[in-house]
Structure formats: structure tokens, C-alpha cells
Structure 1
């Protein structure tokens, strides 16, 4: 089954809830691709020996990874860390996350600045382009195990909104305006 994504409602309730609009408005993989979000469904149980993951890593230059268990039992000050992750921000590089266990939500802004909620579950690998406004939170299960992939040394510097003058944001907007989408391919 493909990844699930939808336009979010405008309520300020618990961010761990799905936040569907009424009626529900689902978003296609094509719509995600148009804003530069890429997706693969992989075999999370076999991530150490998965040829498709290895192919993605090789093709895209991801030579470093680490694993993150995100839940109150395993992360000190988990609530404060989640608040930081849920603050709208960009990165200067792609954000690559592979869900090995559990689930959570990545929220991204579309071309009209509306929130799209993306549910990531076991086996989902997503790539958010540099410069896209986004945020992350756990869902009501309160647990996710993610593989974080990087090109070179791990860098995870969030730049909180507004960042319209940041070079990564300018490049992202240029690609969206010039081609109607990002010049990338997914499997």
C-alpha cells in the first residue's frame, strides 16, 4: 500500500491526532512529487541487507546513517524534543527518513502554503527536499524508529520559519516556479 497523505484541518488540537479535514482530502503521490517529496516502500525487516535500499543510497550518495528510537521511554526530555521537531522549519539539505518500526507524521507545505500530513509507517522511506517547510510529530502510538540518512557527515540544522532568504529556500522556490515541480525521480 502506498503512503497515506492528506490536507490537514486548521485546529490546534493534539498534534498526534490525524487532523483530517471534513470531508477528508487525500493527497496523491503525484502531488507529493510535484513539491519534491519522494517516497519508496521498502522491506524494513530486512533493512540491513535490502538491495533496493542499497541502490537508493548509492544512487543518491547517502553514505552515512544512524538510527533513532523516538518515544518517551527512550528519549530524555521527549516532549521538549517533539516540540522542537514540530516547529515549522527548513534544512539546507534533503531530509531522508526511513521508518523501521512504529509510525509518525511529517507535515509539509504545498505550493499554496497549506499543510499536507504524511503518515509514515514501517517500510516507508521519504525524502523531503532542501528548503521545504516541514515539521514532525509522533502519532498516538508514541513510538517510531527511524533511520536517518545523510550525504557525508550528519548535519541536522533546522532553520525556523521565516526563511525566505535562505539559499536552500530560494533554490526550492526557483525549482517549483520554473518547472511546476522538482527535478527528481522516485522508484
Structure 2
């Protein structure tokens, strides 16, 4: 890592503790840029999720910018203009300008297209099981809205709202999941470099997997290089309990 990059990362981290407990969002999160929607802000989830389709912020809320989410998890969160037409071929073309991943699969979960509410919950369960992949993967939201959840090294979940045009690039070994919001309508194109990276390794069976261990060591190394304060947080969110529906 170059000295300038280390300096920028350290500078981004320096004000994190003040921003996390500030209910008022940073000013830049309230601005728009051309056709790009308002910048989104993530937050830490509370330990007990009563209704997973809600925001479930801590009290007081602990907000994180996309830059801070990157520093905590190595996830890249961004946005691309998918255009006004519902053209899957064009969507994939624009997405591959971000990461030229040849494999793609369109996945949808729409309450209006499922046979009943139970069918929506069952599909949402599959999205909500947290897992990691071997190799970098990318997701692009093509329609609807929801949440992207990612786990930090302390075992805490960070939730980030997602909608059309949002892109998230997930590093190898990082636990993550997708959650519907109360509208229960979300379409995503899943993109991979190869078939191997389409495999999912679920928590908690995969905690001792070398890929997950390597990811943890890499993130700890980043913290050491930037003198990050780091305290382990015992325990993980109970995967079964977190699947409770309203």
C-alpha cells in the first residue's frame, strides 16, 4: 500500500468515533450529484432484530459512511447509472465496466409475483442466511429496494440501504447477506468471475475455513498498518434467531 493511500485511509478513520454516535447525518450524505441519488449512509444493527424488514438501528444510531464501511469490511459500495430502460443486457454491460465478471444471474424477490406472503418469506430466508464466497463477487440492484448487511471483525452487523443502481463488491471470505425492506420488492444481478465463486459457505460451519481466516488476518493487518483501535467483541449474532419474522 502506498504512503498516500495509507494517509487517506487514516484520515478517513480519524473522525469515525465522533460520526458514529451523531444522529445528524454528515452534510455530504445530503447532497446529490447529477443523476446520482443522494449518498446513502449505513448503520450498525442492534443485537436483537424484532422485524428484519425494518431499519433496526442501535439506540442511539451508529452511522457509517460508505468509506467507513470499506475500512471496516473491505466492501466497496458505489452506484452506476443503469439508464431508463429495463434492459438486462445493457445493465450487465454497464456493470462490467466496474468489474468485468463474465458470469451473471438475475435474482428477484417480489411480493407481487410470489403466490403468497409465505413464499416471499421463504425466499427472503435464503437471502438472509449469512455466508461468504471464495473470490470477489459483485451485486447490482436493478429494481426495488432493500438492505445489504455485512459483518465486521467484531461480529457486528452493518446495514446499508440499497436501491436501483447500487453496486456492492464483496471481498473473498467476508460474511454478508441481503434483506428485503418493508416493500418486499428487490431485483439484483449477481456477478462472478468464475463458477467456483458462486458457491456459498454459511455461518457458523465456515468459521474455521481458511478463506475466512485469511480475510480476518488481512483486515487485522490493515488495522495494524493504520494504527486502528480494535477490541474483539465476544459472540456472534444468532443466525437462527435473526431469521425471526414479524
Range of TM-score over shorter length:
0.7 to 0.9
Higher RCO (CA < 8 A, seq sep 6+):
1
- The structural deviation recorded for 1:50 is 8.2
Question: Which among 208, 212, 216 is matched to residue 173 of structure 1?
Answer: 216
Instruction: Tell me whether 1:25 sits opposite 2:62 in the alignment.
Output: yes
Instruction: Tell me whether 1:43 sits opposite 2:103 in the alignment.
Output: no
- Aligned partners of 1:8, 1:57: CA distance in 2, in Å? 29
Instruction: Tell me whether 1:98 sits opposite 2:137 in the alignment.
Output: no
Instruction: Tell me whether 1:123 sits opposite 2:165 in the alignment.
Output: yes
Stretches of structure 1 that go unaligned for 5 or more consecutive residues are: 182-187
Q: CA RMSD in A?
A: 2.3
- Aligned partners of 1:29, 1:82: CA distance in 2, in Å? 25
- Aligned partners of 1:50, 1:85: CA distance in 2, in Å? 21
- Aligned partners of 1:165, 1:17: CA distance in 2, in Å? 31
- The structural deviation recorded for 1:95 is 3.4
For residue 144 of structure 2, give the secondary structure of its aligned residue in structure 1.
Answer: strand
- Aligned partners of 2:134, 2:170: CA distance in 1, in Å? 11
Instruction: Tell me whether 1:152 sits opposite 2:194 in the alignment.
Output: yes
- The structural deviation recorded for 1:156 is 3.1
Q: 1:72 touches 1:79 (CA, 8 Å); kept in 2? A: no
Stretches of structure 2 that go unaligned for 5 or more consecutive residues are: 1-37, 225-246
| Structure richer in helix, relative to its length | 2
Q: 2:46 touches 2:56 (CA, 8 Å); kept in 1? A: yes
Partner of 2:97: 55
For residue 112 of structure 2, give the secondary structure of its aligned residue in structure 1.
Answer: coil
- Aligned partners of 1:154, 1:69: CA distance in 2, in Å? 22
Q: 1:107 touches 1:118 (CA, 8 Å); kept in 2? A: yes
Partner of 1:185: none
- Aligned partners of 1:125, 1:167: CA distance in 2, in Å? 27
- TM-score, normalised relative to structure 2: 0.65
| Structure richer in strand, relative to its length | 1
Partner of 1:184: none
- The structural deviation recorded for 1:16 is 0.4
Q: 1:43 touches 1:50 (CA, 8 Å); kept in 2? A: no
- Aligned partners of 2:67, 2:199: CA distance in 1, in Å? 28
Report the CA distance shift for 1:74/1:157 in structure 2 as closer, same or farther (over 3 A): farther
- Aligned partners of 2:96, 2:179: CA distance in 1, in Å? 27
Is the radius of gyration larger for structure 1 or structure 2?
A: 2
